[in-house]
A and B are shown apart, each in its own frame.
Chain A
């Protein structure tokens, strides 16, 4: 079993829909990261969070430390949101390497 599991693996939706991508992890962490990878291949960090909720534009990330679960939400989705969204966790303080989920491929149709 992977230490970081994402669901769904693939998601197709219509423009304007509310999107939720889930991430569960089985290890202790100091932080959780949400990354975005566009078809061109570049990876961009969207959020890094260790508790509660963060919002940036139409993107919202939440984390529940007790349940070892995080969600990434996209409101009013747009075709340009089409990308692979990757959840990654940082182990407890002192160990820097990220452990990645397999990613969720999101396609937003116009």
Chain B
């Protein structure tokens, strides 16, 4: 398996534009997590899904952020409209089940100018 695949690896966009980050989980993994990493706050959970169903989105900063998992092999994190303070590295991670090891993607480095 190629592991968790995120795209794009880097994204530079102007303030106000819509940004969509993509994640392909490891086949067979039932849990998918979106994390954000900044220098100030470190790693933070934004949202996670179990069997494609959103379980906890309490970490989503505000209504500008939304996440979907339409099927077991694909998830998106969308920011609309984007703001400079959204600049961060966004990681997708998946795990086979509850309380199991997490496997991380390479991350998407987002810069909003």
Chain A interface residues (CB < 8 Å from chain B): 30-31, 33, 35, 41-45, 48, 86, 88, 90, 93-98, 100-103
28 CB contacts below 8 A, A to B, read A31-B99, A33-B101, A35-B104, A41-B106, A41-B107, A42-B106, A42-B107, A43-B91, A43-B107, A44-B104, A45-B102, A48-B100, A86-B42, A86-B43, A88-B43, A94-B98, A96-B55, A96-B99, A97-B33, A97-B45, A97-B48, A97-B56, A97-B59, A98-B43, A98-B45, A98-B102, A100-B44, A102-B42
Find chain A residues with CB under 8 A from B75 CB. none
How many residues belonging to B are interface residues under a CB distance threshold of 8 Å? Answer: 25
- Assess whether A90 is in contact with B99, with CB atoms less than 8 Å apart: yes
Minimum CB–CB distance from A24 to chain B (whole Å) comes to: 16
Q: Is chain B's interface secondary structure helix, strand, loop, or mixed overall?
A: strand
Within 8 A of A (CB), among B41-59: 42-45, 48, 50, 55-56, 59
Chain B interface residues (CB < 8 Å from chain A): 31, 33, 42-45, 48, 50, 55-56, 59, 89, 91, 93, 95, 98-104, 106-107, 109
B50 CB contact (under 8 Å) in A44, A48, A88, A96 = A96
Q: How far is B26's CA from A99's CA once the two chains are assembled, in angstroms?
A: 22
Chain B residue at smallest Cβ distance from A93: B99
Find chain A residues with CB under 8 A from B102 CB. 33, 45, 98
- Assess whether B99 is in contact with A41, with CB atoms less than 8 Å apart: no
Minimum CB–CB distance from B64 to chain A (whole Å) comes to: 21
Chain A residue at smallest Cβ distance from B47: A97
Find chain A residues with CB under 8 A from B101 CB. 33, 45, 48
